[in-house]
Amino acid sequence: MIETGVGNDTRDDAAVRHKVMKAAAIAAHALTDTEQEPVARLRSLWDAHGAVLAARGVGVTLPFDEFRRMLSGDLAELLPDGVAPAEMAGWRLITADGEFDDDVWDLEQEQRAVLRALASTTRRGKSTSSEILQGELDQDTVYTALRKRQNQGAYERGRRALIDTPAGSDAEVRELNLPSTVTDHYRAIPTPSSFGQWWFACPLCKWPMRITVRGAGKAATGTARCHHRPHVEFGASYNFRIPDTGKPPVLVPAPPPTAPTGVERVLFPDVTGRVPEALPVAGHKALTRGVWRSTTIPGLVEVALYDALTARGLACKLWPDLDSYDLLVKVPVSNGTDTSYRIDVKDFTSALLLADKIRADEGDAGGAQWLVVPDYRRATVSMLSAVCGQFGLRVAHASDLGARICEEAGTSWL
């Protein structure tokens, strides 16, 4: 049986999971970041150890050496007894190659979104804590600034700018003509995405890719991969030899993935032959990770579905009513009226956290009828349907809904 209510115990458990996740992620990052000063790494580990101890409660011991060992295991083992592991079960902070898995930052951000939704449903008169609100401050600030003019066209241009140009030269960012409070979220290229004075943009999302160097001396090699795992699986993964000092690396593509067949081939992003060139770190900026992950990444799916349906003659509108939901599609019917599809696109790393947020929000506040996940999240449709059905929401992956709409409109999706 699926519970529809949200109780205080659920909110408390979610808060504990978030505290442990955040502290453990900081610790694991410090443990694997060999470029950071040893003293700074140790300080981060100590601080994180203290935060996990506080979350586990008084009288629960966890020696520092044991804490370090557990950072390489199942993340849920760090939780105190009695707290359900939920979305943390099976997650590992450090990969088999000894690298920090930065998908964890996305999971932690999704936990914050759930915490905020849970806090807003409290029946005990408690206000949302500043810590919870801080988690989504970047996204809220950006969206509020874009809506400030109360102009649909300006809002759409701003959203498209964040999707199309999540990174670029200082001049390119200025030319976006975004409000200053939005432009403030473009920052220097992050160190994990740079090789010396160079960085590379993902061919799919255009955000700086993660750089990893293995080995030493003449045996050293490097990789450049998108921070978004599905993009890596689509082919945003490259190798390079370490160049002479001062020279930029030259990327060599990893073997390409097999293109899908059937309805999913329409939206499949083919990166064949698209090899990013090195760009200078100086004079370039990129969106903060939170805005990139919450706006650029799902926005790529929103725009791809919009473009595909528009190209097939459907009447579509992005972010209607200043983003009440993501996409409105109208299909003419025989009696002269229209069938409307009100669509909200969600791309959560954890389907469990998305389900929790839907329960906490009691559906979709903006009036969407359909919750759409990217094709690479299609395995979550069945589970999400069981939750969304309680609130009148239907669920599909993007290509499936595109094909369904085209069939109703009497046109071909393929």
Q: Taken in order 58, 62, 67, 69, is the CA torsion positive or negative?
A: negative
53-59: average pLDDT: 78
Q: Is the pLDDT of residue 54 over 90?
A: no
393-402: average pLDDT: 98
Of 111, 15, 115, nearest in space to 350 by CA: 111
Of 337, 99, 55, 406, nearest in space to 414 by CA: 406
Q: How far is CA 297 from the centre of its chain?
A: 6
234-246: average pLDDT: 93
Name the average pLDDT for the chain: 87
What's the first-to-final CA gap in the chain, in angstroms? 39
| Cα-based distances in Å from 407 to 190, 232, 314, 399 | 45, 32, 11, 12
Burial class (CB in 10 A: 0-12, 13-18, 19+), 396: buried
| 137-188 confidence digits (pLDDT tens) | 577 788 888 998 899 999 999 999 999 999 999 999 999 999 999 999 999 9
Which single residue is written with the structure tokens 């000063």? 37
Q: Is the pLDDT of residue 209 over 90?
A: yes
HEC string of the chain?
A: CCCCCCCHHHHHHHHHHHHHHHHHHHHHHHHHCCCCCHHHHHHHHHHHHHHHHHHHCCCCCCCHHHHHHHCCCEHHHHCCCCCCCHHHCCCECECCCCCECCHHHHHHHHHHHHHHHHHHCCCCCCCCCHHHHHHCHHHHHHHHHHHCCCCHHHHHHHHHHHHHCCEEEHHHHHHCCCCHHHHCCEEECCHHHEECCEECECCCCCCECEEEEECCHHHCEEEEECCCHHHHHHCCEEEEECCCCCCCCCCEECCCCCCCCHHHHCCCCCCCCCCCCCEECCCEEEECHHHHHHHHHHHHHHHHHHHHHHHCCCEEEECHHHHCCCEEEEEECCCCCEEEEEEEECCCCCHHHHHHHHHHHCCCCCCCCEEEECHHHHHHHHHHHHHHHHHCCEEEEHHHHHHHHHHHHCCCCC
Write down how long the chain is: 414
| 98-127 confidence digits (pLDDT tens) | 888 878 777 777 877 777 766 654 433 333
CA distance 389 to 358: 10
CA distance 251 to 273: 12
Side-chain-side CA neighbours of residue 315 (13 Å): 8
Percent of the chain with pLDDT over 90: 55
- Is residue 130 very low, low, confident or very high in pLDDT (cuts 50, 70, 90)? very low
Percent of the chain with pLDDT over 70: 92
Q: Is the pLDDT of residue 133 over 60?
A: no
Q: Is the pLDDT of residue 128 over 70?
A: no
Sheet holding 221-225, edge to edge: 210-214, 221-225, 237-241, 252-253
| 4-28 confidence digits (pLDDT tens) | 333 444 567 888 888 888 888 888 8
Q: Is the pLDDT of residue 249 over 70?
A: yes
Q: Taken in order 227, 231, 234, 235, is the CA torsion positive or negative?
A: negative
| Cα-based distances in Å from 39 to 71, 99, 333 | 19, 20, 68
Which single residue is written with the structure tokens 């700074």? 40
